Amino acid sequence: MLEVNGIAAAYGSIEALRGVDLSVEEGGITCLLGPNGAGKTTLMMTIAGIVKPRRGSINFLDRDITGMGPSGIVRRGIALVPENRLVFPDMNVHENLIAGAYLRLGKRKAQVRQDIDHVFTRFPRLQERSKQLAGTLSGGEQQMLAVARALMARPKLLMMDEPSLGLAPLVVEEIFRIISDLNADGTTIFLVEQNAHMALQVADHFFLLEQGQVTFSGKPGQLSEHEVIQRAYLGKGQERERPTQDRGHPGGKTH
Amino acid sequence: MVDFIQNCLDGIMLGSSYALLAIGFTLIFGVMRRLNLSYGPSIMVGAFIGTLVYLEFKANAVAIAAATVVGAVIVGIYVERLCFRAIRRGAAVASMVSSFVIWMQLEEIVTVVFPDRTYPFPPLVTADPIELGPLFFKVENIVMFAVAAAMTVLLHWLLQHTRFGLALRAVSENPRAALFMGINVGAVMSLAFVIASAFGGVAAYLIVSADGQITPLFGLWATFKGLIAMMLGGMGSIPGAILGGLLLGVVEAQSIWYLGTEYRDLSAYFLLFLFLVFRPGGLMGQLAVERELAATRRV
């Protein structure tokens, strides 16, 4: 469904991606794991059309989308749930959802209204808080809203950048349940995570990204969870120096 | 007591023009997160274009108003291209400094083209004040208030009930998230500049036509009044800009009456000083400041 071939991207002179190859199969949950600074978010931004790649190509549904702007990418059917959720804090829940359907607002008002009802059935808690300002929601509710808002774009591929970031363990479980449900209902999911433990439970396929390059591609179980967590947190280079990393509960970055 | 009420009403009508200036300021600040110091000077140029149309063609009030607004919008676009588009990313200080440089440039151009400094500006209406019991109302002030109120209602409708308004609010709240929704952030920013300049142009026309004359110093004056009113209300908040403008107008009107004309600006600065010390978020911005704090604590 999505093929990323040899993508390189840089911020000024700092090279964040150094020839990344990966692919996302239709109908599955694909996961991208890797330590901080490996380039995971940059890759998401590049696919979303916000960062322009220096080299390489991106194909989506057999069409070349390399270098296309963000609105074109959203129109093609890729929506992103950004890191840190980035809901619109001074808009209420309902307005946030409408903003998610921005590109369809002109002509398809009835369809958008239908989609909002649909999203509200999936997330009853958002319906209860429909008129509440998004900035006053709890972290978990904001994450739900961010997912719901992305769904309003009717994506074929839903990309999620660290949805568990900064959330309590119980809430993280709920978010992952939502991810599985969405996938069961037919949405293809491409997930970037720090929480390797949770991610490996839902993923059909996963990639390890280290220092701007894919260093492993396979199914969960092909690498021991221990090794994945090692590499997802520290990168391969330091593995030997710190053999007994606590693998209890990955909390992710804090901000 | 009658004096006090009279001053309040005069202040509200005067303040409605400050509110328009502050709305323009706050719209630009909202989407750019940067101060546009040359906002006042760019609408001053608009007003001089209005004067030019008046002097050259003896045009009527509508044509002069239109020339003022169109002039302000054109100069506003020029400022946006030069200061805010070229260095949109990551150079907040550079944009602010360059907007200051453009301010100087605009003033220089105007003093070269209009060497006499003070130019006449025709009034919109010439009518005797309306007497209502013990109270007096200048007709031009009533017009000023009515136009400002209508513009505010129009803006409210635009922001709350149109697709463009949604996009503008999204960009003000989080430009990055707006990009993810497929919103053309650059175009929204440019249009916000155009709207802000149009508001400034209308404010300039109302103020200058009530004064009956214009000087290049109007630019400085408009930037000050708009900036102070915005700060009183809370940066980036449109209701705040309106309240801030009205408050500033009332305080000025009261101090002119009770303290003397020379205290008008001094009391405005004093009011700003009090706010900066005790309520830095302004009338409406405080909530946002507190919510941001709460959000960082919650995680």
Confidence check: pLDDT of A239 > 50: no
Confidence check: pLDDT of B25 > 80: yes
Which stretch of DSSP H or E encloses residue A193?
strand A188-193
Which residues of chain A make contact with B179, given a CB cutoff of 8 A? Answer: 50, 70
- Averaged pLDDT for residues B269-279: 90
* Neighbouring-strand partners of residue B213: B120
Which residues of chain B make contact with A136, given a CB cutoff of 8 A? Answer: 291
Which segments of B33-120 does DSSP mark as H helices, in order? 39-57, 61-79, 92-113
Which residues of chain A make contact with B169, given a CB cutoff of 8 A? Answer: 88, 90-91, 95
- How would residue A35 be classed by pLDDT, with cut points 50, 70 and 90? confident
Percent of chain B with pLDDT over 70: 93
Interface contacts (A, B; CB < 8 Å): 74
Domain limits, chain B? 2-298
SS3 B119: strand
What is the extent of the structural domain holding A117? 2-192
Q: What is the pTM of this model?
A: 0.86
Is A67 within a domain? yes
- What are the structure tokens assigned to A161, written together? 């950048």
Residue A254, pLDDT score: 43
Is A101 within a domain? yes
Is A234 within a domain? no
Mean pLDDT of chain A, nearest integer: 86
Would you say A64 and A56 are in contact if contact means Cβ atoms under 8 Å apart?
Answer: no
- How would residue A244 be classed by pLDDT, with cut points 50, 70 and 90? very low
Q: pLDDT for A157-184, tens place per residue?
A: 999 999 988 888 888 988 999 999 999 9
Mean pLDDT of chain B, nearest integer: 89
Name the residue among B113, B120, B198 with its Cα closest to residue B154. Answer: B198
- Distance between CA atoms of B88 and B96, rounded to whole angstroms? 11
ipTM field: 0.84
- Averaged pLDDT for residues B140-160: 93
Q: pLDDT for A113-144, tens place per residue?
A: 999 999 999 999 999 999 999 988 988 899 99
Is A208 within a domain? no
Radius of gyration of chain B (CA): 19
Is A138 within a domain? yes
Interface probe for A, chosen from B181, B185, B235, B286 (most Cβ of A below 10 Å), is: B181
Residue B296, pLDDT score: 56
Beta-carbon separation of A88 and B170 below 8 A? yes
Name the domain count of chain A: 1
Is A91 within a domain? yes
Residue A37, pLDDT score: 82
CATH number at residue A61: 3.40.50.300
Name the minimum distance, in Å, from the CA of A245 to any CA of chain B.
25
Is some CB atom of chain A closer than 8 A to the CB atom of B162? no
Beta-carbon separation of B176 and A82 below 8 A? yes
- How would residue A152 be classed by pLDDT, with cut points 50, 70 and 90? very high
Percent of chain A with pLDDT over 90: 53
Name the minimum distance, in Å, from the CA of B277 to any CA of chain A.
25
Best CATH choice for the domain B2-298 from the list 3.40.50, 1.10.3470, 1.20.120, 3.90.1570: 1.10.3470
Is some CB atom of chain A closer than 8 A to the CB atom of B288? yes
Name the minimum distance, in Å, from the CA of B64 to any CA of chain A.
36
More confident residue, A186 or A238: A186
Residue B34, pLDDT score: 82
Is some CB atom of chain A closer than 8 A to the CB atom of B146? no
